[in-house]
Chains A and B, each alone.
Chain A
């Protein structure tokens, strides 16, 4: 798994996916306000741009006329045919066992946490010259995604 810095949290608007390209994959990253989710941006139905769809509440019903929502759970609705996928697991609503889309772990943290890609190549030694350094506080949080190779 490679960890990628997708930039500051402020770059992810609430309630809709931002489409990012990571390792050649199109991925939708969703900021729901309380946490982040990421799904492969390809609907398993007919290959539609899944994450350009709407982020929907987790709607269930115990009986006709009753509507209930589960806090913190969301569905991504494909813009092509309305198929819904669990934002967390990628499982489809109507066929969770067989119809699913790949989810990716997303974390939020400080920028100081380096990703594997950002690490210095090994074997380099500190040189003799030192520039004057200033302390910089990073107040913004960044979004990281882990994508398997």
Chain B
């Protein structure tokens, strides 16, 4: 069996008591005084039926994510810390979650890696949190919810990228986030289905912003992972961006070559949910035509279940390409070897 690395598994803080050992006296007292149970996290972002189970400890993660098809996994803990506006509290919760990730999972099982949780709207605090950790701790990425207060290319977020680049972490954008701004480009949706269906456009806006504001020039070693973003939209937006760059590069003169060249080198996308035709033959044809396979990192998105389309498709890939998507792309991307 060739190795399989699942690049998007969601462990879940089961409650404040799990991270209490890592919180300061002040915040433990405050939570008691205010009878506050912590941010809603994954339970707030997804309707209950969407998430099959909550992976709150090592045993649950091993059972859900390491017992096939994957034998190693990247944990993305979405706790919703960006919903907290208090600058000290959002930083405190982030730090506690990371300590919990380290002790509960990373220190206990070397098949696991994790993304750091950071107070993303307080970039200096986020950078300080990033610098508390290193790759030796098992962290390989900084998790940033895709909906943000302003587009992520903005220089106010650069302290995060600088710290991530120093530490050798990738930047990982994932579905989620609370900003005070609507989660669609057109305004506030009334339903979950609208938010989810519009999700790809939010990723697109972030990607365009990061390119235009010079993320790839300012941080030459930094990698960008798009998780749960879908993949089929990427070639069309690259085509449009390249075309527009020929006309408007004066606005962003630090972008010195076709943006698609940087993006193909510096951006990867996780596979689940895969927005492709259900017929695997046609889906594979699309991936090949658009040269997307080198950019794909296998993910299950457990415990958020999407159906088996993705696994069926990967199974149909020629062995060499399948090995890349299932493991080798991720091995190279996250430096797993």
Contacts and interface: CB of A to CB of B under 8 A. Distances in A.
Asked if A and B are interacting partners, one says: yes
Interface of A: 56, 59-67, 81-84, 93-94
A59 B248 CA distance: 12
Chain B interface: which size bin? 10 to 19
A67 B214 contact: no
B253 A59 contact: yes
A67 B247 CA distance: 18
Interface string B185-228: 00000000000000000000000000001100110000000000
A46 B214 CA distance: 30
Contact of B246 (A59, A63, A81): A81
A60 B255 CA distance: 9
B128 interface: no
Nearest to B243: A81
B247 A64 contact: no
A61 B249 CA distance: 11
B234 interface: no
B240 interface: no
Nearest to B215: A64
Max chain A C-beta neighbours (<10 A), residue from B217, B218, B254: B254
Given A64-B213, A82-B248, A94-B246, 15 more contacts: A56-B250, A61-B254, A61-B256, A63-B214, A63-B217, A63-B218, A64-B155, A65-B155, A66-B254, A81-B247, A82-B247, A83-B247, A93-B249, A94-B245, A94-B249
A29 B245 CA distance: 27
A81 to B, nearest CB: 5
B218 A64 contact: yes
Given A63-B218, A64-B214, A64-B217, A94 B258 contact: yes
Contacts of A65: 155, 214, 254
20 contacts: A56-B250, A60-B253, A61-B254, A61-B256, A62-B254, A63-B217, A64-B155, A64-B213, A64-B214, A64-B254, A65-B155, A66-B254, A67-B253, A81-B246, A81-B247, A82-B247, A82-B248, A83-B246, A93-B249, A94-B258
B155 to A, nearest CB: 8
Contact of B250 (A62, A64, A84): A84
Contact residues of A: prevailing secondary structure:
loop
Interface of B: 155, 213-214, 217-218, 245-250, 253-254, 256, 258
A79 B247 CA distance: 10
B261 to A, nearest CB: 11
Contacts of A62: 254
B199 to A, nearest CB: 27
A61 B253 contact: yes
B246 A82 contact: yes
A136 B30 CA distance: 98
A63 B254 contact: yes
Nearest to B254: A61
Nearest to A64: B214
A16 B254 CA distance: 26
A64 B211 CA distance: 11
A83 B248 CA distance: 8
A48 B214 CA distance: 31
Contacts of A56: 250
Contacts of B253: 59-61, 67
Contacts of B248: 82
B266 to A, nearest CB: 15
A112 B59 CA distance: 95
A40 B258 CA distance: 26
Contacts of A84: 249-250
A60 B253 CA distance: 6
A81 B247 CA distance: 6
Nearest to A93: B249
Max chain B C-beta neighbours (<10 A), residue from A63, A66, A94: A94
Nearest to B246: A94
Contacts of A60: 253
A65 B249 CA distance: 14
Contacts of A64: 155, 213-214, 217-218, 254
Nearest to B248: A82
